[in-house]
Amino acid sequence: MLRSKRFWVGLAISLIFLYLAFRGQDYGEIWSALKEANYWWMIPAVFVYFLAVLVRSWRWHFLIKPVRDIPAMRLFPVLVMGYMGNNVFPFRAGEVLRAFLLRRKEAVSMSATLATIAVERLFDGLTMILIIVLVLPLIPFGEFFRGLLLAASAFFVGALLVFLILISFPQRTRGMYRWAIGRLVPARWRGPVLDVADRFIEGLSILRSGRQVALVAGLSVLVWLLEAGKYYFIMFGFPFDQPFHVLLLVTSVATLATTIPSTPGYVGTFELAGIATLQRFGVAAEVALSYTVVVHAALWFPITLLGIAFAARESLTWGQIRTIGRAEVKPEEVAP
């Protein structure tokens, strides 16, 4: 990890964002806000968060159902271990960990699983943008923010269109990647690589059903309403009061900021986005920072600890998880 340029770039970005978040802050006020906060509100906040993770498991059940019908409760520990991997290791290693675990436990190919995770992230992004668009008329943001929103919208909508095109014309899509593989991949690898590509397209197959897409979209909205509930509960422990739609906006903006490359656990990018959004609504910088740090801790520690417990139950060692996180999706890892 320490030899990776991406790791050092992510660390540098996190340090820059942390500097911007803490610049000009009164550290005495920050400590006072943290010391005087009412942490009993963490109990309902963490409960609501894990309820959101259960809904995520249910959503993943529908996403992966065209490949393998796996009950949501069997997917829940896999999902939790994946989030633990994202929190602890760089480069979103938890996504590969989820794919590995599902291959080992349910004989689902890693490439098909990664395709469902890509669709899952796509729906998350589209849902957060939808939330921001709906809340935008109620908030005092300028043209710069609106421009960023437009760029993010173009990215996620463009990705959705690409996926829809890929699965709407399966024969043409297969012909295109067969042509590319035949010219770019050495002969001995062409068969296995083609199999991986086929499995990935199979993982996108839920997008062929409008009813299933609507169901996944509805569950995505429920997920993010529950996630915002966590932010809302924690707010009651701090000396500021904002309506639910403001905390919904903070949830969406801070989460979108975590797509910026950074350290494991999205340190810095999350804090700056949360503080900047709250300050737009008149929340003092020191209170906004202390609140955002507590929210980040509440997002990081419970699911990471539960993920470690599930990994111990699966007899996964840290060495194995690190190896999985560095792994590529190899042809031999594609299940029959």
Of the candidates 300, 271, 299, the residue with the CA atom closest to the CA atom of residue 25: 271
> Can you tell me the mean pLDDT for 277-301?
94
Query: How far is Cα 236 from Cα 51, in angstroms, rounded to an integer?
Result: 20
Residue with tokens 């992230």: 121
Residues in the chain: 336
What are the tokens at 9? 């770039």
Distance of CA 142 to the CA centre of its chain: 27
Q: Which long-range contacts (CB under 8 A, 24 or more apart) does 326-331 make?
A: 326/93, 327/96, 327/100, 329/96, 329/99, 329/110, 329/111, 329/114, 329/196, 331/189, 331/191, 331/192, 331/193, 331/195, 331/196
pLDDT of residue 61: 95
Per-residue pLDDT for 83 more than 90? Answer: yes
The pTM assigned to this predicted structure is 0.85
What are the tokens at 197? 């590509």
Query: How far is Cα 151 from Cα 128, in angstroms, rounded to an integer?
Result: 13
Please give the single-letter amino acid code of residue 214. A
Query: What residue spans of 136-209 are helical by DSSP H?
Result: 143-168, 170-184, 187-203
Residues 266-288: pLDDT tens digits? 999 999 999 998 998 899 999 99
Q: How far is CA 5 from CA 12, 37, 90, 91, 262, in A?
A: 11, 39, 12, 11, 12
Residue with tokens 């086929």: 198
Query: How far is Cα 43 from Cα 180, in angstroms, rounded to an integer?
Result: 53
Residues 164-185: pLDDT tens digits? 788 788 788 888 888 888 888 8
Of the candidates 150, 147, 152, 146, the residue with the CA atom closest to the CA atom of residue 125: 152
Residue with tokens 């920072």: 289
Residues 87-126: pLDDT tens digits? 988 777 889 999 999 998 999 988 889 889 988 988 998 8
Residue with tokens 């709407």: 168
| Contacts of 215 by beta carbon, 8 Å cutoff, 6+ apart | 62
Asked if 186 and 100 touch (Cβ cutoff 8 Å), the reply is no
Around Cβ 69, how many Cβ atoms within 10 Å?
9
pLDDT of residue 257: 86
Burial track 159-173 (b if 16+ CB lie within 10 A, e otherwise) = bbeebeebbeeeeeb
What are the tokens at 311? 């990994």
Residues 132-152: pLDDT tens digits? 777 777 666 666 566 666 677
Asked if 263 and 11 touch (Cβ cutoff 8 Å), the reply is yes
Q: What's the alpha-carbon Rg for the chain, to the nearest Å?
A: 21
pLDDT of residue 84: 94
Please give the single-letter amino acid code of residue 223. V
